[in-house]
Structure 1
Amino acid sequence: MPAKSGGTMKANIHRRVLAVGWVCLGLVVTAQGRFEDPPNYTPGGLVPGEARFYGNLEYAKPDGHSLRLDLYLPKDLVEPAPVVVWIPGRDWDAANKKSCPISRFTKLGYAVASIEYRPSKIAPFPAPLHDCKAAIRWLRANASRFHLNEARIGAFGEAAGGHLAALLGTTGNVPELEGSENPGFSSRLQAVCVLYGPTDLVTLGEKQGPKGSVARLLGGPVAEKMALAELASPLSHVTRDDSPCYLYHGKRDRQVPEMQSILLYSALDRAGVRARLRFSSRGHGAWPSDMAFSDIHYFLLKNLAPQRLNPLVAER
């Protein structure tokens, strides 16, 4: 059954283990003065949370459209850092990579890559997904340069960004959805976190009508783009080898009904994929509480921390 918001003995145990895990992860990937800036890359200084910042790194240029990401590294690195890819977007046309809650992750030893992607008004689906996958492949191609752990990459997104994160988790290495930028590297992820993201675009698009955000993403009404709407739905791609998935949704969400997360959770669970669903009592766009974020970090630690350092490895 989906996890509920109330405090339980299991949740308390999770928080205690998570605290140990944070310390464990932090001790290994952060220590004074062991990481040097890569050649030809100069950090833009420190940002809140004491992260090293490399801004506007071009990761792809599809059809001449320059796509960039901001990379934040824990200030002092010893071992390659696991990576959280932040996928912005309350709408597929309104993605702002500056919206990333950087210190939530860097203070725990994660590197953060906050990416941009082509808005649907410029390039409809599958272009935004192609861009996200190109960013992941770029990170793997440049992992040694920036001291990243290419085997431990996860994605985190809200709303439209959550939809793309869910697709990343369910379409790893699906040829027709890979795109052509940065070939030679895998786009598979080790974990995804989906905050109130659409998962069934056929149902949601029909509800929104021909002028809704789903129709804009598809380049036309769902009635005229049914096959594309199914292709763009994470629910259509669930298989047993999908990435572990954390879903968070507000019960008062009127823009993306909670059933969108329930359907994906149920499909993943039936397929044998590690999945967790947590509800809040709030509406669309409400950020997780500190307690909910502790649960999210527990999930990330369990799936992204190197196994030999992971106090949760026995629970896998």
Structure 2
Amino acid sequence: MNRYNQLLALLVLCSAFVVWIPLFAGDFDAHYGVDYIVRDSGPLKADTYVPKDPGPHPGVLVVHGGAWRMGTRAQLSGVAQQLAQQGFSAVAISYRLAPKDKFPAQIEDCKAAVRWMRSHADELKLDPERIGGFGYSAGAHLVTLLGTTDVEDGLEGVEDPASEPSTRLQAVVGGGTPCDFRVMPPEYRWLSFWLGGTRGEVADQYRLASPASFVTADDPPMFFFHGENDDLVPITQPQGMCQIMEHAHVPAELYVVPKLGHIAAGMDRTALTKCIEFLSVQLKKQASP
């Protein structure tokens, strides 16, 4: 087993255990197993965490990790609860997994979830003009790709996306984030289960899956956090993404979690605090009338 396959195996085994526990009790309503879209394989479900006060609140889509092939929306239930305690309407989703459903199924589901949030803004007590994304590892990749793509990028997964609510986000937070698969060695097969082949065989899939390949000046501000000793996702991934965004004049920030690796950094409370502060600044500063 080569080094890349070893890292993938470790990521698959470990990332299902990245769970944050709420720091304190708050006042919100939780609803579990709500259908947000029906695919050929069946309904995809979401858990919603909505503050009890009237709102409207900024919304946050919460996307779990698991190397695009495993994991559940319960992984980040602690994050979603903490967001609700801080005045966000949080929606944690399940999405289709590889290898049964290869890319772009996962980003299509994330986009469907944002459309569902906007279509159900009243019952979620959220402001449809203020929606952010939060994810870790593979989930961070998905919300970052969600933040950099739009209708014209061909990842919408609906016949007429222009007739549906927008999937545009107003802020993105990602931890342990893979951002650019175009730098993968062309012969390595460790993402074939998800992207359908090596980069040498299906280069366009690796480009389409790379948030860094879609950065434009109208993208939302982004905050990344990353373990200093992360051996699974190189820290050069968010560093390179921040540089690309800086060149496009899009605000981007990277917080390096001292001395921690991929899994431990995902449970760092200082990082979570910084994430919520960033979302508060970006999403609460300008409420819709």
TM (norm. structure 2) is 0.84
| Partner-residue secondary structure (3-state), 2:270 | helix
Aligned counterparts of 2:105 and 2:152: Cα–Cα separation in 1:
14
1:7 equivalent in structure 2: none
- CA distance change for structure 1 residues 287 and 83 in 2, over 3 Å: closer, same or farther? same
- In the alignment, structure 1 residue 109 sits paired with structure 2 residue 87: yes
State the Cα distance separating 1:258 from its structure 2 match.
0.3
Structure 2 stretches lacking a partner, 5+ long: 1-23
Code of the aligned partner of 2:203: M
- In the alignment, structure 1 residue 199 sits paired with structure 2 residue 179: yes
- CA distance change for structure 1 residues 208 and 190 in 2, over 3 Å: closer, same or farther? farther
Aligned counterparts of 1:269 and 1:178: Cα–Cα separation in 2:
26
State the Cα distance separating 1:202 from its structure 2 match.
2.8
- CA distance change for structure 1 residues 92 and 59 in 2, over 3 Å: closer, same or farther? same
- In the alignment, structure 1 residue 129 sits paired with structure 2 residue 101: no
Is 2:57–2:126's contact at 8 Å kept on the other side of the alignment? yes
Is 1:95–1:117's contact at 8 Å kept on the other side of the alignment? no
- In the alignment, structure 1 residue 172 sits paired with structure 2 residue 150: yes
- In the alignment, structure 1 residue 149 sits paired with structure 2 residue 135: no
Aligned counterparts of 1:51 and 1:73: Cα–Cα separation in 2:
5
| Partner-residue secondary structure (3-state), 1:279 | strand
Code of the aligned partner of 1:186: S
Is 1:198–1:256's contact at 8 Å kept on the other side of the alignment? yes
Aligned-pair RMSD on alpha carbons? 2.1
- In the alignment, structure 1 residue 297 sits paired with structure 2 residue 276: yes
Given candidates 151, 160, 164, the residue that maps to 1:184 is: 164
State the Cα distance separating 1:48 from its structure 2 match.
5.6
- CA distance change for structure 1 residues 153 and 308 in 2, over 3 Å: closer, same or farther? closer
Is 1:252–1:283's contact at 8 Å kept on the other side of the alignment? yes
Given candidates 212, 225, 230, the residue that maps to 2:202 is: 225
Aligned counterparts of 1:104 and 1:208: Cα–Cα separation in 2:
42
- The structure that has the greater radius of gyration is 1
| Partner-residue secondary structure (3-state), 1:174 | helix
Structure 1 stretches lacking a partner, 5+ long: 1-46, 310-316
Query: Residues 177-214 of structure 1: CA distance to partner in whole angstroms, max 9, x if unpaired?
Result: 1111885100000000010111111324x38931x2x2
Task: Count how many residue pairs are aligned between Structure 1 and Structure 2.
Answer: 259
Aligned counterparts of 1:164 and 1:63: Cα–Cα separation in 2:
21
Code of the aligned partner of 1:300: L
Structure 1 residue ranges (4+ consecutive) displaced by more than 4 angstroms after TM superposition: none
Aligned counterparts of 1:257 and 1:207: Cα–Cα separation in 2:
17
TM (norm. structure 1) is 0.77
